Structure 1
């Protein structure tokens, strides 16, 4: 299947300002099931652009605006990508990794250390209390995939989705207290729980295509349609990194299009940069996203 992604972000300022380099984590990651046919970013003001690959293997586009000043900063991204069907359950785990609790072995453990942290980070001291009451008989699960799927579904059930375009991520305890959060917040909550339970977990930012129901203005499964998406990936020996989407309570399939992964969500904010002014400047941001299937 070929998809068209049109992603537009515009910052408007009350007076002209200048800009630092901006780093864009918007290009989808290629794989055996994904191939980027076209990726273009037009900016206002115009920018010089260069590519780099970061420490996680993400492709990052750096935009340099020089000394130009403007009251508007916009990124108009146009992507065409081919995606293949992906059965999220089509894998075979290593024999030692089929049941919970799971213990990683070398050499995987050396590579996974940045993603494994059993100590509760600041702002995530209450997540296991919620886990033990939200997931029925959690320690009695045998099948590790069912164990993770139950947790994934519990987050989707207990946390109401709200779109938040402002920067920053709620800490997991706040998300649980409010019982609301964006997809970023729910992914971070899921990661905080799974790491404390001994899993290697990482944050994934990207796009999710949700085909509309024929003849209706509704979608099949995505509560966060119309904005970039975020989910978690868990490393399962024998299967590799497998995506779990706690916003929608499902496992990631071929419609999930990752653009960036990291152990730290802040490292892969989709658009990163600053503006410069002599005094504070009021600003607004407008974001639009359309993902559509294309005729072959």
Structure 2
């Protein structure tokens, strides 16, 4: 399957401004079941561009606008990516990690320390343990660790209403539990905080979720966050590696999930990062458009 993505992010400013370098974490991550066939970014104003690989292995596109002044900053991204079918349950766990709880063994335990807590996904999470223990009544022992994590994934889907938030920033888990609503990134951070408190290593994933239209009405089968970039969580399971859990939709990640950045710290992988400069305070607005479709044609080399 090949998917074409057109992603436009536009910032309108009330006055002329200059722009610092902007870092884009929009290019999908290649692996043995996913290959980026085409990727380009058109910018307004025009920019010089260079590639950087960050500390997490993500691929950053750095855009430099020089001394240009403008009231408009726009990024239009064109992507074509080939995807192979991926059964999210097709893996074999290490024998010691098939039930809950378990402890990570060396050398994994040392490498996973940054993903076990102490980051933005665990701060502001005083209510999470009460939510787990008294509202959800999470069992202290479970014979099937994948089912245990899947159940928690479904609990977030059930308890938290989805709201689209295009503005920057992520709610704390406590805020999400208080409001009982949040964006996909808010629900991912809540899930990460919860599983970390239960002893799992987890990380934040930013990317795209392809949910093709079904029927004549053009409805979508499962994605509550159609029309925007997506965020979900990955939990490290010995023998299987990093496995994706999407609490926004209550499902495990399959081939339709297209990650563009991963990190133990959610704020580190904002899709577009940068600053603007002005002589005085200038208001701004942002618009986001995302189109995704399956294509069959082969692109010329």
Same fold (TM > 0.5): yes
For 1:266, what is the secondary structure of its paired residue? Answer: helix
Q: Runs of 5+ in structure 2 lacking a partner?
A: none
Cα displacement (A) at 1:211? 1.0
How far apart are the structure 2 equivalents of 1:105 and 1:262? 21
1:248: which partner in 2?
249
Deviations 1:223-269 (A, max 9, x none): 00100000000000000000000000000000000000000000000
Matched ranges for 1:32-181 at <5 A: 32-117=32-117, 121-181=122-182
Cα displacement (A) at 1:295? 2.1
Alpha carbons 1:169, 1:184 under 8 Å: kept: yes
| Greater than 4 Å deviation, 4+ residue runs | none
Alpha carbons 2:207, 2:229 under 8 Å: kept: yes
TM-score, normalisation: structure 2? 0.96
2:4: which partner in 1?
4
How far apart are the structure 2 equivalents of 1:137 and 1:182? 24
1:26: which partner in 2?
26
How far apart are the structure 2 equivalents of 1:188 and 1:102? 22
How far apart are the structure 2 equivalents of 1:38 and 1:66? 26
Q: Runs of 5+ in structure 1 lacking a partner?
A: none
How far apart are the structure 2 equivalents of 1:200 and 1:37? 32
Alpha carbons 1:135, 1:150 under 8 Å: kept: no
Label 1:205 to 1:216 Cα distance change in 2 as closer, same or farther (>3 A). same
How far apart are the structure 2 equivalents of 1:133 and 1:143? 21
Alpha carbons 1:117, 1:198 under 8 Å: kept: no
For 2:213, what is the secondary structure of its paired residue? Answer: coil
Cα displacement (A) at 1:7? 0.1
Label 1:156 to 1:138 Cα distance change in 2 as closer, same or farther (>3 A). same
For 1:191, what is the secondary structure of its paired residue? Answer: helix
Deviations 1:56-109 (A, max 9, x none): 000000000010010000000000000011000000000000010120000111
1:264: which partner in 2?
265
Equivalent pairs, count: 296
How far apart are the structure 2 equivalents of 1:152 and 1:112? 21
Label 1:29 to 1:126 Cα distance change in 2 as closer, same or farther (>3 A). same
Cα displacement (A) at 1:133? 3.6
1:219: which partner in 2?
220
Cα displacement (A) at 1:134? 4.2
How far apart are the structure 1 equivalents of 2:188 and 2:252? 13
Alpha carbons 1:134, 1:154 under 8 Å: kept: no
For 1:122, what is the secondary structure of its paired residue? Answer: coil
Cα displacement (A) at 1:142? 1.3
Alpha carbons 1:118, 1:197 under 8 Å: kept: no
2:274: which partner in 1?
273
